[in-house]
Amino acid sequence: MPKARLKLVAPKSVNRTVPLQAAGDNRYGHRDATMVLIAFRHGLRASELCDLRWDQVDFARAALHVRRAKSGTPSTHPLTAREMRALRRLRREAPASPFMFVSERGSPFTTAGFARMLERAAVSARLDIKVHPHMLRHACGFALANRGHDTRGLQAYLGHRYIQHTVRYTELSSDRFKGWWKD
């Protein structure tokens, strides 16, 4: 039985094109761009992203406490300077709520709303594929595997309970055997 092929968004597209297009296309562009950035950089499922609360961000230590869905392993991820700037701005501009990402009515953003927003951003960025939120998680795993991060570390970062769920990213890595032999 052949393995199902993962549909991926190229990490360069996520890092540059999609967030920038999302930011320029609507009045909630910063919120939308921050959602894409955080989902991608931390390999979050849509439900984990939409459930993020401000008390999970440690601004003093630049850390994000990730609560995983599907019985995944929780972890603490470092936040980059870019992510910290985006989160600080979002906190200043967003309505008062315990949730990090809220709709214009002030309620927590839904997974369906995130999927629709991501589809609109992909169309604006002229990506020729149908984009869905889980592609950001896959793109994160693939990008980290291509950077040479070990499978166990990747498993912990993505919150996978079982390593066989993580191995798919290292199997896809085009550079996984690079440098094994030196002439």
Among this protein's residues, is 162 annotated catalytic? no
Among this protein's residues, is 88 annotated catalytic? no
Among this protein's residues, is 41 annotated catalytic? no
CA atoms within 13 A on the CB side of 109: 28
Per annotation, catalytic residue among 45, 68, 77, 138: 45
**CB-count exposure of residue 133 (10 Å: 0-12, 13-18, 19+):** buried
Among this protein's residues, is 169 annotated catalytic? yes
- Alpha-carbon dihedral of residues 29, 31, 33, 39, nearest 10 degrees? -160
Among this protein's residues, is 70 annotated catalytic? yes
Q: Is the dihedral of CA 41, 118, 97, 87 positive or negative?
A: positive
Among this protein's residues, is 116 annotated catalytic? no
Per annotation, catalytic residue among 42, 68, 137, 138: 137
Per annotation, catalytic residue among 65, 134, 149, 165: 134
Per annotation, catalytic residue among 70, 89, 147, 152: 70
Q: What does the DSSP assignment read for 144-182? A: HHHTT--HHHHHHHHT-SSTHHHHHHHHH-TTTTTTSS-
The Cα 94–Cα 72 span in angstroms is 29
Question: Which residues are designated catalytic?
Answer: 45, 70, 134, 137, 160, 169
